[in-house]
């Protein structure tokens, strides 16, 4: 089960990162207007997510990857707040339910940070 959870975290960040390239419109509307160069920011977010997924694979780099995931999640907080602010907005990509936006900000986002911490520090120690 522990290996499955680690692999699920790696796969989640890899797939999410790849979607920044495959379907950038999925993320573009989540980038707040005050952030300059949204296309570059979106591209770089995808690169970072894929790179962090790769660092989580190797036990030697897993702690750095976990720290990176936690820092990335902190950096994404403005986008999640923006997501809450535009809830009930229907884009051509999807409809945002306000409850989903709040759950994503207050539950899923912190859960990803705890999951990354576990993968980098707790799992890394127990699996070595």
Confidence band of 125 (pLDDT split at 50, 70, 90): low
Spans of all domains in the chain: 2-127
With 50 as the cut, is the pLDDT of residue 128 above it?
no
pTM above 0.85, yes or no: no
Closest CA to 3 of 79, 78, 56: 56
Alpha carbon distance 126, 47 (integer Å): 29
118 DSSP assignment: I
Q: What pLDDT sits at residue 11? A: 97
pLDDT tens digits, 3-57: 888 999 999 999 999 999 999 988 887 888 899 999 999 999 999 999 999 999 9
For 90, how many CA atoms within 13 A lie in the half-sphere containing its CB? 0
């Amino acid at each position: 089960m522990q290996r499955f959870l680690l692999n699920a975290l790696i796969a989640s960040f890899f797939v999410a990162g790849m979607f920044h390239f495959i379907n950038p419109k999925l993320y573009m509307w989540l980038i707040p207007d005050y952030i300059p160069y949204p296309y570059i920011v979106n591209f770089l977010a995808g690169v970072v997510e894929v790179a962090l997924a790769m660092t989580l694979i190797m036990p030697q780099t897993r702690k750095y990857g976990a720290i990176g995931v936690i820092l990335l999640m902190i950096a994404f907080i403005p986008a999640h707040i923006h997501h809450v602010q535009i809830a009930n907005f229907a884009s051509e990509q999807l409809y945002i339910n306000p409850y989903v936006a709040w759950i994503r900000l207050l539950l899923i986002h912190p859960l990803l940070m705890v999951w990354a911490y576990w993968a980098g520090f707790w799992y890394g120690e127990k699996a070595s």
